[in-house]
Amino acid sequence: MIVGNIKDVPDNISRYPNKLRQAIEYLASTDFSKLESGRYVLDGETMYANVDRYMTRVPDSGLPEAHRKYIDVQYIVEGEEDISWCPMNPMLREDAPYDENRDIVFFKELVAGNSIVMKKGNYAILFPNDVHRPCGSLYDEPTSVTKVVVKVAVDAI
């Protein structure tokens, strides 16, 4: 996993592979307040963005997930949330088998999990070995979040 802030992009973007640089440049240069929620194709099935507006969940609710075909570049446009995370490991127990059409596998719980506070302008690059539970509330009450997830095909890296 890589975590950063969009304001630091000029200083650190050169170290990323080309497709990840393109994803972050897209996030840095797009006014998401003018885009509706939905899917935006950036490079066919190689790279696309999902714009989503939602309310966060109670902490530790929802199932941890991982992907095999795509890397997630999760970017907070407005609001803040907790992303719980752990590395893929043999102690994880699947909640349901991998769904190839949706490129997702859910797990019953994180094993030796950590938490990342994501605020406006933060991004997290989550690779297939990064099991994550996004959308967690930092507070007792759910809060509003606008998030963009750019999906980058692993094969394109």
Alpha-carbon distance of 135 to 137, in angstroms, equals: 7
What's the angle, vertex CA 95, arms to CA 92 and CA 100, rounded to 5? 100
* pTM score: 0.94
Averaged pLDDT for residues 28-47: 96
Question: In this structure, which amino acid lies at residue 27?
Answer: L
Domain coverage including residue 91: 2-156
Helix (H) or strand (E) holding 21: helix 18-29
- For the stretch 95-126, pLDDT in tens is 999 999 999 999 999 998 799 999 999 999 99
Alpha-carbon distance of 10 to 13, in angstroms, equals: 6
Residue 14 belongs to a domain with what CATH number? 2.60.120.370
- For the stretch 134-152, pLDDT in tens is 999 999 889 999 999 999 9
| Tally of structural domains, the chain | 1
| Mean pLDDT, all residues of the chain | 94
Q: Which two tokens stand for residue 8?
A: 């630091």
Averaged pLDDT for residues 29-36: 96
